[in-house]
Amino acid sequence: MEKPYILHMLTTAKNLSPFDVNMALDAGWISAVPYINVEPSEVRGLVQDAIFSRSAKGLRRTGIFIGGRETKQAIDMLRLAKNSMVPPFEVSVFADPSGAFTTAAGMVAAVEKELAKTFHVSLSGLNVLAFGGTGPVGQAASVIAAQAGANVRIIGRQLDKAERTAQMCSEELGDGKIKIEAGADADKAEYIKTADVVFATGAAGIELLSAELIAQAPRLKVAADVNAVPPTGIAGLDAFDNGNPLPGSISGAVGIGALAIGNIKYQAQSRLLKMMLKGEKPIFLHYEHAFAVAREFINSDS
């Protein structure tokens, strides 16, 4: 009898995301086993318990998912898990804390497509503002955009927190190969004057880009929002918008809403979970891989 597909799902939070469980089972994993309140120091033991319970062949039907709330912690746990493997006893691992990596990947891929289609430019050299960027989605989106060549600034209510986040994203998530700047909400009116792209990645129900700011943005090309709860994070933007003209824009900017981004996020997460199932060799997945499959999906859908 063939062994069942088992996905061991680790989270540092008190609950495992039902969204992630549904995604795993719909992707073909037969069993999704939760491990909650996991400390990073426990990762090695959990991983090695999983890999030594099956033969090397049986481990092809075993995987590990890392959730939680923090991007850096999830990446650290992914690295710990990878370093805990004992070849040939290895399994695939996928980190996606709070769905941030796949959501950010979907947003940046959607923005990139609109830039190419409507403005005939890429992200490279453009100025990107990540409003509410100190959270997990803002962090991941900022790193992805910076790696694509954009000049990224994380905007937060508290400048010192934004500065710490920007430094962490540059040095930890970006491995020191990118440089992300920081800014305060109080200075948004100044930053918007030279912004080409806006990511709205703050908490649900908070407007981050007002109609007044949109009217003061002479270079704005694309504004994307991951919040579907009214009011949306960008004034005048509907959650279903997908390249629609942004109301009040003086530069002909277009908007991308949360539900349009959510569709790409869903496809990216599903494809990565299926890659784990079908792979002949262990793979270790995070935001870069999420962006690659989001790009693939959105380009194949055009």
Q: What is the pLDDT of residues 147-192, one digit of tens each?
A: 999 999 999 999 999 999 999 999 999 999 999 999 999 999 999 9
Condensed to tens digits (0 to 9), the pLDDT of residues 259-278 reads: 999 999 999 999 999 999 99
Q: Report the C-alpha gap between 70 and 137 in whole angstroms.
A: 10
Q: Which residues of 220-233 are buried (b: 16+ CB within 10 A; e: fewer)?
A: bbbbbbbbbeeebb
Q: How many CB atoms lie within 10 A of CB 240?
A: 11
pLDDT tier at 40 (50, 70, 90 boundaries)? very high
Span 131-153, average pLDDT: 98
pLDDT attached to residue 290: 98
What residues contact residue 37 under an 8 Å CB cut-off, 6+ apart? Answer: 11, 12, 13, 14
- The whole-angstrom separation of Cα 208 and Cα 205 is 10
Phi, psi values for residue 215, rounded to 5°: -75, -10
Cα 130 to Cα 141: distance, rounded to the nearest angstrom: 8
The rounded percent of the chain whose pLDDT value lies above 90 is 92
Residue 24's alpha-carbon distances to 75, 95, 292, in angstroms, are: 20, 13, 19
User: Cα separation of 256 and 192, whole Å?
Assistant: 18
pLDDT, residue 56, reads: 83
Query: Tokens 């209510």 belong to which residue?
Result: 157
The pLDDT assigned to 1 comes to: 61
Mean pLDDT of the 7-36 span: 96
* pLDDT tens per residue, range 186-213: 999 999 999 999 999 998 889 999 999 9
- pLDDT-wise least confident of 38-52, 80-94, 288-302: 288-302
Domains and CATH numbers, the chain: 6-95 (3.40.50.10280), 103-261 (3.40.50.720)
Burial zone of 119 (CB within 10 Å; 0-12 exposed, 13-18 middle, 19+ buried): middle
Which of 3-7, 146-150, 215-219 is least confident? Answer: 3-7
- Mean pLDDT on 221-243: 95
At 57 the pLDDT is: 82
Residue 251, token pair as written in the block: 């530069």
Residue 226 pLDDT more than 70?
yes
Contact status, residue 131 vs residue 199, Cβ threshold 8 Å: yes
Return the percentage of the chain with pLDDT > 70, whole number: 99
pLDDT in the model for residue 142? 98
Q: How far apart are CA 89 and CA 59, in angstroms?
A: 7
The closest of 290, 200, 182, 174 to 253, measured between CA atoms, is: 200
pLDDT at 283: 97
Average pLDDT over residues 217-230: 96
Let me know: does 17 contact 42? Beta carbons within 8 Å.
Answer: no
pLDDT interval class at 301 (50, 70, 90): low
- pLDDT over 60 (residue 229): yes
